[in-house]
Structure 1
Amino acid sequence: MNDNKPPLNPHPLSEYVAWAGNRNKEPLLGVLKEKLPRSPARVLEFASGSGMHINFFAPHFGHLHFHPTDKDIEVFDNIKKLTLDHKNDNIADPAHLDLTDPETWFNSGMPNSFSAIFCINIFQVAPISIADGMMRCAAHLLDDDGILMIYGPFQVEGAFTTDSNKEFHEKLSSAGVSEWGLKDVTDLKKAAADHGLELKEQIDMPANNFTLVFGKKHP
């Protein structure tokens, strides 16, 4: 529990990220079981980090093919090791995808259309400006009825939904790293609207987190 919580460290291979991932993977699996396609399809992960989530989810969806991506190629060996260790034959090799660099969005080794995309725990340690790239990239890569799922803690219309989220924001802000802190769902909705996407659902999750489900606007 909290007594065993490692020091805050956003590096994808850190003990803190592993602790957070182990805490949220089961609730996230529940959402994916409800939202992911029930027929064969491709699923992309933005910012896969260590690969712990995609390798935990994949065995539950034998009909789906998962594609991990990250801007940091140093994590690729870890993703591949986990995939091999878990004997997950429905996970592709990781591909380089930087949400701030459109030239990486259409990787020659990666398909150019997906039924679903998910991204876990990125915005509290990333600038809100990447929301524009994320929404633009998702708009290009998602099928017409595809969804983008974003998980993490957020402010809602300028307010913290719990005291613990306010405390977490203050802890992040005190680290002295520009742009660390809880972002606002409103800003993600604006970025989505700029690229033809809209918030379809806001799901309350354990530990005061949310799963935000975006999809393409249709007339």
Structure 2
Amino acid sequence: MSDNKPPLNPHPLSEYVAWAGNRNREPILGVLKEKLPKDKGRVLEMATGSGMHINFFAPHFDHLHFQPTDKDQEVFDNIKKLTGDHGNDNIADPVHLDLTDPETWFNPGDKGSFDAIFCINIFQVAPISIADGMMECASHLLNDDGILLIYGPFKVEGSFTTDSNAEFHSTLSSYDVPEWGLKDVADLKKAAASHGMVLKEIIDMPANNFSLVFGRG
């Protein structure tokens, strides 16, 4: 893939998302190697999109079983195609999970059935209100020691941590889409607290991003 940055387009099958995913997948993999279970377990990805990340990660964790999810069922065929192309037999078929629709969040039998959940680059193009659904899902789906890892650019206590993040926020805001823009870690912490979750760790990542690691309080 070219190193040239395509025009901003958050659609999960866009060239921009593919470019960004190719750039950030190795650093995220490094964090997952530290944080995911070393024994057998189940891992869920929220907002899987095209399936590029989960299919890149899965071969590094033969002992884990991965569950892709997304609100847009139009991407399911692409996820399944990538899974087949890569021969990843530890990835399940995608399921519908819309963080704005509680009816899709979970089944009673899923309680405590996952060891980890991760979500990559969603909050800068989604309303902060999805944080409540994300944390309620995590509280229900994770086992006692499970973690929720959220990757992306964020403000911290109301401030941009770098000039480039401020510029990125300005670029997003220029599209006049209300939910686009960097969200504040403080708002995610507030949503987490409502569901018995706490921010355990903030990991600095390349390109002025963060990995936020949440767990039970």
AA in 2 matched with 1:134: M
Distance 1:42 1:28 in 2: 18
SS of the residue 1:199 aligns to:
strand
Shift of 1:105: 1.8
Shift of 1:106: 2.2
Are the counterparts in 1 of residues 117 and 138 from structure 2 also a CA contact under 8 Å?
yes
The 5-angstrom pairing of residues 41-120 of structure 1 reads: 41-106=41-106, 111-112=110-111, 113-120=113-120
The 5-angstrom pairing of residues 70-219 of structure 1 reads: 70-106=70-106, 111-112=110-111, 113-217=113-217
The 5-angstrom pairing of residues 16-55 of structure 1 reads: 16-55=16-55
Distance 2:57 2:71 in 1: 21
- How large is the RMSD of aligned CA atoms in angstroms? 1.5
Distance 1:76 1:172 in 2: 27
AA in 2 matched with 1:28: I
Shift of 1:2: 9.8
Shift of 1:107: 5.5
Distance 2:49 2:19 in 1: 14
Q: TM-score, normalised by structure 1?
A: 0.96
Shift of 1:111: 4.6
- Between the two proteins, the alignment pairs up a number of residues equal to 216
Distance 2:82 2:135 in 1: 28
Are the counterparts in 2 of residues 139 and 196 from structure 1 also a CA contact under 8 Å?
yes
Are the counterparts in 1 of residues 76 and 94 from structure 2 also a CA contact under 8 Å?
yes
Are the counterparts in 2 of residues 80 and 93 from structure 1 also a CA contact under 8 Å?
yes
AA in 2 matched with 1:155: K
Are the counterparts in 2 of residues 96 and 107 from structure 1 also a CA contact under 8 Å?
no
Distance 1:2 1:22 in 2: 10
Percent identity (aligned): 81
Counterpart of 2:11 in structure 1 is: 11
Shift of 1:103: 1.5
Cα distance 1:56–1:187, how it changes in 2: closer, same or farther (>3 A)? same
Which consecutive aligned stretches of 4+ in structure 1 deviate over 6 angstroms post-superposition?
none
Cα distance 1:175–1:2, how it changes in 2: closer, same or farther (>3 A)? farther
Are the counterparts in 2 of residues 27 and 206 from structure 1 also a CA contact under 8 Å?
yes
1:182-216 C-alpha deviation (Å, 9 max, x unpaired): 00000000000011000000000000000000001
Are the counterparts in 1 of residues 165 and 208 from structure 2 also a CA contact under 8 Å?
yes
AA in 2 matched with 1:142: L
